């Protein structure tokens, strides 16, 4: 654990052992350069605490880049609640309340919302002790609800942009899109894709999701073990991180990777590996910014839902187009181009509060 912390380039890590449940809480604040650190709370069981801390550190850095690409005035952070395999509902709620207290003690250095393993109902519980630093409470409790739909909107926009670039046409009609993971982002993404008349395929590991989707018209089920070899135009990872790696890249039969999952690469070299195979990659943190940005805008800056949607579409289109152009002009990967764009905002600390950016075109 010490070496992980030593190698990390972030600002602060808060660690709390939750004795009653045996859980560990890791809050990683990677950067507050552009604003208060903001990121989801991931809650799951890990093989060991090193893996949990590592996840928190990586995900927090991802949030910094996510906000820095468009220059949105938030910093990067993430929390991981590493829980034992079995946790009863009552002790789970108590744990969430103790976690909320910890977030409140940080006094605004860290704002949070849902992530893998937490829901809007969980945000209601956390907010009882963690308010006003908790986003995405249910509408009944005064929150804006799930961030999934806005994330999905950005991912969908990203898919349109890359298709426009690769096929000369942003229409997704009859495009084969494989969505891996039908969670809060995947399910709305599938709706957008079906409305656009795409040829949708999906994969999931949960039996009830498979049953629910497999017999729907215009949608095809792909067993988890076949995902990487399935021929498609767009592969959209919306489940776990690390799915793009040296084992899976040689198997891929797609032209584009564009999905909502955080940290899709297992190692930084995977960007180059994809490029070598001529597969265009829409960097995850560029196209999955919608939920975090949109909800933060709605709850902390008073945007309406429609305004948030507009800004998400605009932000993803603008950033991704520039990134693809930069990667071609300079013969670098899209990941490298996105990092340069983010670093430019970070090194000048130029938070772009109105997000109008310097764009004159009407997308």
List residues binding ligand PHE (CB under 6 A).
38-40, 113-115, 135-136, 147, 262, 291-292, 295-296
Q: Which of 166, 140, 349, 147 is nearest to 256 (CA)?
A: 166
Q: Which is nearer to ligand PHE, 33 or 66 (CB)?
A: 66
Output the residue with the shortest Cβ distance to ligand PHE: 113
* DSSP-based three-state secondary structure for 52: helix
- Within 10 Å of residue 198's Cβ, how many Cβ atoms? 25
Q: Which is nearer to ligand PHE, 134 or 162 (CB)?
A: 134
Residues contacting 2, CB < 8 A, separation 6+? none
* DSSP-based three-state secondary structure for 299: helix
Cβ contact 341:289 at 8 Å: no
- Within 10 Å of residue 325's Cβ, how many Cβ atoms? 12
Q: Which is nearer to ligand PHE, 59 or 201 (CB)?
A: 59
Q: Is the dihedral of CA 151, 234, 193, 122 positive or negative?
A: negative
Peptide bond into 177 cis (omega under 30): no
Catalytic residue among 58, 78, 176, 311: 78
Q: Which is nearer to ligand PHE, 75 or 161 (CB)?
A: 75
Q: Is 78 a catalytic residue?
A: yes
Report residue 162 as tokens: 């890359």
Strands of the sheet containing 23-31, edge to edge, are: 12-18, 23-31, 75-82, 37-44, 110-114
* Residue 66 CB, nearest approach to ligand PHE (Å): 6
- Taking the CA of residue 279 as centre, how many other CA atoms within 13 Å lie in the half-sphere pointing to its CB? 26
* Residue 8 CB, nearest approach to ligand PHE (Å): 18
Is 306 exposed, middle or buried, given 0-12, 13-18 or 19+ CB atoms closer than 10 A? exposed
CA–CA dist 190, 197 (Å, integer)? 10
Residues contacting 143, CB < 8 A, separation 6+? 120, 123, 124, 127, 134, 135, 136, 137, 299
Residues contacting 49, CB < 8 A, separation 6+? 1, 24, 82
Question: Catalytic residue positions?
Answer: 78
């Amino acid at each position: 654990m010490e070496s992980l912390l030593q190698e990390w380039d972030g600002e602060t890590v808060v660690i709390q052992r939750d004795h009653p449940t045996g859980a560990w809480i890791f809050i990683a604040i990677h950067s507050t350069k552009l604003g208060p650190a903001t990121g989801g709370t991931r809650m799951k069981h890990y093989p060991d605490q090193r893996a949990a801390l590592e996840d928190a550190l990586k995900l927090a850095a991802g949030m910094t880049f996510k906000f820095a690409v468009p220059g949105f005035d938030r910093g990067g952070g993430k929390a991981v609640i590493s829980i034992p395999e079995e946790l009863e509902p009552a002790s789970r709620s108590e744990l969430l309340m103790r976690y909320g207290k910890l977030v409140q003690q940080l006094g605004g250095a860290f704002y949070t919302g849902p992530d893998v393993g937490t829901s809007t109902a969980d945000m209601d519980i956390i907010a009882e002790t963690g308010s006003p630093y908790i986003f995405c409470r249910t509408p009944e409790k005064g929150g804006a609800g799930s961030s999934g739909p806005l994330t999905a909107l950005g991912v969908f926009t990203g898919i349109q942009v890359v298709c426009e670039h690769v096929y000369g046409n942003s229409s997704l009609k009859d495009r084969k899109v494989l969505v891996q993971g039908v969670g809060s982002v995947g399910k709305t993404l599938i709706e957008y894709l079906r409305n656009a008349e795409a040829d949708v395929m999906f994969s999931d590991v949960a039996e009830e999701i498979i049953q629910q989707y497999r017999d729907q018209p215009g949608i095809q089920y792909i067993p988890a073990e076949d995902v990487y070899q399935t021929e498609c135009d767009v592969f959209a990872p919306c489940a776990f991180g690390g799915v793009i790696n040296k084992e899976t890249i040689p198997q891929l039969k797609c032209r584009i990777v564009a999905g909502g999952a955080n940290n899709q690469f297992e190692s930084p070299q995977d960007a180059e590996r994809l490029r070598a195979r001529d597969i265009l990659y829409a960097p995850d943190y560029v196209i999955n910014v919608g939920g975090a940005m949109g909800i933060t805008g709605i709850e902390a800056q008073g945007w309406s839902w429609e305004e948030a949607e507009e800004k998400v579409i605009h932000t993803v289109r603008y950033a991704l187009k520039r990134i693809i152009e930069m990667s071609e002009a300079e013969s670098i990967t899209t990941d490298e181009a996105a990092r340069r764009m983010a670093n430019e905002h970070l090194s000048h600390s130029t938070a772009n509060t109105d997000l109008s950016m310097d764009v004159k075109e009407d997308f």
